[in-house]
Amino acid sequence: MNERTPVTGPFRISVDATPAGVALDMTHYLSALVLALAEAADEDGQSLLDDLVAIADLDRSARHQGRDSHATHERDEAVQGLLDELVDGGSVPVYGGQVLRLAESLRRAVAPRPVPSQREAGAA
């Protein structure tokens, strides 16, 4: 565990400060999702492709019909169903002391930082 990566498992989560807040690096979890998709494609590629095409169709309809449309709700349910099947619903578990380390890492990342004076920044 390092200061940038307060959560080491079951999925690593890293925290980077940004000018507007933080960026959570969820690459480890997303890799698990891609591997689950690959496995599903290997087992029954046509069924997975059919599901993804149906989600894409629903997404097009949802964008056209609006955020509270029937298509939006259907799309969201279809996406959730796929996540439920592939990666336990899409939730990233964080256990024990890692919860506190993540919270502290987030606090540090958003804490106000001093702006260096011109002299400290290298100005003459």
pLDDT digits (tens, 9 = 90+) for 40-67: 999 999 999 999 999 999 999 999 999 9
pLDDT digits (tens, 9 = 90+) for 61-114: 999 999 999 999 999 999 999 999 999 999 999 999 999 999 999 999 998 877
Please state whether the predicted TM-score (pTM) of the whole model is above 0.85: no
Q: 70-87 and 27-65 helices cross at what angle (nearest 10)? A: 160
Position 123 scores a pLDDT of: 60
Dmax over Cα atoms in the chain, in whole Å?
66
Structural domain boundaries in the chain: 14-106
Residue 105: both structure tokens together: 């890492």
